[in-house]
Chains A and B, each alone.
Chain A
Amino acid sequence: AQKVTQAQTEISVVEKEDVTLDCVYETRDTTYYLFWYKQPPSGELVFLIRRNSFDEQNEISGRYSWNFQKSTSSFNFTITASQVVDSAVYFCALSGNNFNKFYFGSGTKLNVKP
């Protein structure tokens, strides 16, 4: 069975603080993909990153970075020097061998206060 757990329901930080959003996944598939999506207050889902199970290299994109660790089944997302515009709900998602089907976590609401 596929499952994604985002234990942090809501996080509040002050602008310029760093924040890490946790994602833990479960799958028995040997090949799988992990994703992060951002859902701003306007409601759309914005793709942030995709990572396949064979690539454990961490990735950095501007203020965003992702830490993929197969040993702990985690795919955590860090925002450095957070900004008010980062306020949104962030979803982690997983697809396994059946790539057609995505499993989303319950999301973490990030509030960045000025």
Chain B
Amino acid sequence: EPEVTQTPSHQVTQMGQEVILRCVPISNHLYFYWYRQILGQKVEFLVSFYNNEISEKSEIFDDQFSVERPDGSNFTLKIRSTKLEDSAMYFCASSDDYYGEQYFGPGTRLTVT
């Protein structure tokens, strides 16, 4: 069964460093999403992406964040200058149409020290 994959599973970085989290959505999906979950808290929407542009973003998704689909298979989330409060589990999701179910990847745990 096709699935969303994410790498790395765990990333440790120092405050102020740039990180790139990578996702490979399900191959025929067209809509892509990033969410984050601070430990023990709810899952929060960050951004949605369709047709090579951002279609929606939350208040959390400020200028420190960016997303990109650099090729036909990867979907990345970049955090330019990480802060301690960016420590969280980051989930990528994809769906095959606007009303489709979102399938989530296993997550990348980001730890900022």
Contacts and interface: CB of A to CB of B under 8 A. Distances in A.
Chain A partners chain B: yes
Interface residues of B, number: 26
A104 B56 contact: no
Interface in A18-49: 33, 35, 37, 42-47
Given A43-B107, A45-B104, A100 B56 contact: yes
Nearest to A91: B43
Nearest to B104: A45
Nearest to B107: A43
Interface size class of A (residues with CB under 8 A): 20 to 34
Contact of A100 (B41, B48, B89): B48
Interface stretch (B11-19, B20-28, B73-81, B94-102): B94-102
A91 B45 CA distance: 14
Interface in A85-114: 91, 93, 98-107
Given A44-B106, A100-B55, A106 B98 contact: no
A16 interface: no
The binding surface of chain B is classed by DSSP as: strand
Given A43-B89, A101-B58, A106 B102 contact: no
A96 B57 CA distance: 15
The binding surface of chain A is classed by DSSP as: loop
A100 B98 CA distance: 7
Contacts of B33: 100, 102
Nearest to B9: A43
Given A101-B58, A104-B42, 19 more contacts: A44-B104, A44-B105, A44-B107, A45-B104, A45-B107, A47-B103, A98-B56, A99-B99, A100-B31, A100-B55, A100-B98, A101-B45, A101-B56, A102-B43, A102-B45, A103-B45, A104-B44, A104-B45, A106-B41
8 contacts: A42-B106, A43-B107, A44-B107, A47-B103, A93-B43, A98-B56, A101-B45, A101-B48
